[in-house]
Amino acid sequence: MSQFTILVVEDEEAIRSMLVMVLQQYHFEVLAAGDVAEAQLILEDTLPDLILLDWMLPKVNGDEWTRRLKASENFRDIPIILVTAKGEEADKIRGLDLGADDYVTKPFSPKELVSRIKAVLRRSGKIHDLTQIKFQDIILDTTQHRVSIADHVIDISPTEFRLLSFFLSHPDKVYNRTQLLDQVWGRSVYIEERTVDVHIRRLRKILANYQREDWLQTVRGFGYRFSDKNI
Ligand code: CA
């Protein structure tokens, strides 16, 4: 399976960062926007697997954007979960009428949110199994936070776990440091690019214990890729 990208549209900074953090902890790739205009820009280069959309937004509201997306040929298939503040019955019904796939009512627990997201992804046919990512004899279990290589369960820190999870979901593709920072650490976090190298080295060390370090390849002048093929 590949990893899933979720676009979070929320104007309140604190809630937005919280949502980004929670979703990253559950191994989603997360893109975030503060309003519809920003979200629209993101859609120009990335098609998310799901949009988590706040109902109350400045300028264009969540319900209005839902209506527009569902009317557009390019974006109508992206599932939308609306986030409503008060849980007013009328809002929920209107949201679903407009084509939203589900809604959650603030406040909600991370667990509830994630299970709603998974349910919508499942219904939309995007996932059958969210738990395991396999690459040759490496098996990464996202629910149990466990990695095994050649049947050995290995010790791995959360950051290396996310990095490995990203690479395993995107084999053979080259990513530069900025892209890895965006994808693995998230755009909202400021970290120096050197940090990426540090974690790559740690991950390589882990892989080296099982003679798999050649799979985490440095592409000179560009970045890194995970592949069992030679460059
Ligand atoms: Ca809002």
CATH classification code of 131-226: 1.10.10.10
Least confident residue range of 80-84, 85-89, 93-97, 141-145 = 85-89
Give the model's confidence band at 129: pLDDT under 50 very low, under 70 low, under 90 confident, else very high: low
Residue ranges matching CATH 1.10.10.10 in the chain: 131-226
Residue 54 CA to ligand 1 center (angstroms) comes to 6
Q: What is the mean pLDDT of residues 148-175?
A: 92
Residue 118 CA to ligand 1 center (angstroms) comes to 23
CATH classification code of 5-127: 3.40.50.2300
Q: At residue 2, does pLDDT exceed 50?
A: no
Residue 206 CA to ligand 1 center (angstroms) comes to 43
Q: What is the mean pLDDT of residues 130-138?
A: 84
pLDDT at residue 1 in the model: 35
DSSP-assigned letters across all residues of the chain: ----EEEEE-S-HHHHHHHHHHHHHTT-EEEEESSHHHHHHHHHH---SEEEEESS-SSS-HHHHHHHHHHSTTTTTS-EEEEESS--HHHHHHHHHTT-SEEEESS--HHHHHHHHHHHHHHTTS-S-SSEEEETTEEEETTTTEEEETTEEE---HHHHHHHHHHHHSTT-EE-HHHHIIIII-TTS---HHHHHHHHHHHHHHHHTTT-GGGEEEETTTEEEE-SS--
pLDDT in tens, 198-211: 999 999 999 999 99
Residue ranges matching CATH 3.40.50.2300 in the chain: 5-127
pLDDT at residue 92 in the model: 75
Enumerate residues with CB within 5 Å of ligand 1 (an ion): 11, 54, 56
